[in-house]
Amino acid sequence: LDLRAEIDRLRMERNAVILAHYYQRPEIQDLADFVGDSLELSRKAAATDADVIAFCGVKFMADTAKILSPQKIVVLPDMDAGCSLEDSCPPDKFKAFREAHPDHIALTYINCSTEVKALSDVIVTSSSAETILAQIPPEQKIIFGPDRHLGGYLNRKFGRDMLLWPGVCIVHEAFSETELLKLKAQHPDAPIAAHPECPPHIVDHADYVGSTSGILQYAKTMTGDTLIVATEPHIIHQMQLAMPDKTFIGAPGADGNCNCNICPYMALNTMEKLYLALRDLQPRIEMDEDLRLAAKKSLDRMLDMAS
Ligand code: MLT
C-alpha cells in the first residue's frame, strides 16, 4: 500500500484538511495541508470549510478543533496521544483551586482538558501568552495553570505574581543544563533558543525564549549559521526546509543527545494511523454540547485578545 497516495486520495474523497503540529514526524509534516503551533492550528480549525479535520497533534489540540468547529468531523490518528500538562490538572482539583481563590481570574494554557478550559476565563498559547497578559491590568489577581515554568517565565518577565499550578511538560523538563553548557562550549557562537515550558536553569541560558513559531521566526532572522534549539526536536524539520544551509542542533538531555526529548505522545501518530483515521473516520472526537459552549468562551477570548 502506498500510504502517501492513499492518504492523498482519501483527503480528496472526504474533503478533509490535514492539520499537523510542528512536533509531528517529518513525513506527517510534509503531507499536511498546514503545519503550525496551537494558536495557528486553532485559527485554521475555526476557518476551514473542509468536512473533516484530521488532526495530527495531541488530544487537547483535536478537542480544541472540535470546540471551534463542532459541525466538522474531527479525527485524531491515535486517541492515546495525550499531554503530561493536561494529565497534571484534573478538572475537580482545578475547580477546587479556583474556588479557593475567588478574587483571581484563571488564565490557562491551552495544554489542558476541555473541562479545564470550561473552568477558565482566558486561554493562552505560548505564542499568545505575552500579548494577552499585557492586556490584563497589573492589579488583577491571576491563577495560571497548568505549566508552572511558562507561568514562572511570564511572572519574571512581566513582574507579576500569578499563582501557579504545579504542572510540567515532560519533554521540556528533560533538558540537561550540564549537557547544554557542554554543547555551548563546542559551539560558542551559536545562540540558544528555548521554549518557555523549559525550566529556568535552561531558559536562563537562552538568547531567545518563545513558542515554536517564535523560534522558527528567530531562526529565520538570526545572523549566524548555527542555532541550538531547546524544544521538541521535530520543529527542526521546518527549520531545515526553510534554511537548508544553516545548522540546527537539538539541545541535549542527560544522555547527551536530543532523542530523549522527543514527545512520546506526539510520536504516537503515524502514517498508518492517519491513513486508517481518514479511511474509517475514527477515532473521532465527540463532545457534550454544554461543555463545548462553556469551553468555547475562554478560547474565543484568546482568539480576540491574541489578534
Ligand atoms: C504550542 O503552542 O503549540 C505549543 O506550546 C508548542 C509551541 O508551539 O510553542
SS3 200: helix
**What is the Å distance from ligand 1's center to 22 Cα?**
8
CATH no. for residue 233? 3.40.50.10800
If pLDDT is split at 50, 70 and 90, which confidence band does 259 have? confident
Confidence (pLDDT) at 307: 74
- Assess contact for 271 and 3: CB atoms under 8 A: yes
**What is the Å distance from ligand 1's center to 40 Cα?**
9
With a cut of 80, say whether residue 154 has pLDDT above it. yes
**What is the Å distance from ligand 1's center to 1 Cα?**
33
State pLDDT tens for residues 217-258: 999 999 899 999 999 999 999 999 999 999 999 999 999 987
Residues 65 and 98 in one domain: no
SS3 108: strand
If pLDDT is split at 50, 70 and 90, which confidence band does 171 have? very high
**What is the Å distance from ligand 1's center to 4 Cα?**
26
Q: Indicate the top mutation candidate among 42, 43, 86, 126 to test ligand 1's pocket, ranked by most ligand atoms within 8 A of CB.
A: 126
Residues 203 and 154 in one domain: no
Residues 181 and 141 in one domain: no
Residues 140 and 201 in one domain: no
Residues 244 and 191 in one domain: yes
| Pairwise CA distance, residues 293 & 286, whole Å | 13
Residues 69 and 99 in one domain: no
Torsion of the alpha carbons at 185, 189, 195 and 201, rounded to the nearest 10: 40
Residues 191 and 234 in one domain: yes
Ligand 1 binding pocket (C-beta < 6 A) is: 21-22, 37-38, 125-127, 195, 211-213
**What is the Å distance from ligand 1's center to 23 Cα?**
9
The region of weakest confidence among 7-11, 50-54, 257-261 is 257-261
| Pairwise CA distance, residues 168 & 137, whole Å | 27
Atom of ligand 1 nearest to the CA of 39: 2
| Pairwise CA distance, residues 287 & 48, whole Å | 19
**What is the Å distance from ligand 1's center to 127 Cα?**
7
**What is the Å distance from ligand 1's center to 74 Cα?**
20
- Residue 249: which domain range? 172-261
Residue nearest to atom 9 of ligand 1 (CA): 211
What ipTM was assigned to the predicted interfaces of this complex?
A: 0.91
Confidence (pLDDT) at 42: 87
Residue nearest to atom 5 of ligand 1 (CA): 126
User: How many domains does the structure of the chain reveal?
Assistant: 3
H helix or E strand, kind and range, residue 58:
none
If pLDDT is split at 50, 70 and 90, which confidence band does 146 have? very high
State pLDDT tens for residues 79-123: 999 999 999 999 999 999 999 999 999 999 999 999 999 999 999
Residues 196 and 217 in one domain: yes
Confidence (pLDDT) at 304: 96
Residue nearest to atom 2 of ligand 1 (CA): 38
Residues 152 and 300 in one domain: yes
Residues 146 and 188 in one domain: no
Mean pLDDT of the chain: 97
**What is the Å distance from ligand 1's center to 126 Cα?**
6
Atom of ligand 1 nearest to the CA of 211: 9
Sign of CA dihedral 58, 60, 65, 66: positive
Residues 160 and 302 in one domain: yes
Distance of alpha carbon 204 from its chain centroid, rounded? 21
Residues 160 and 181 in one domain: no
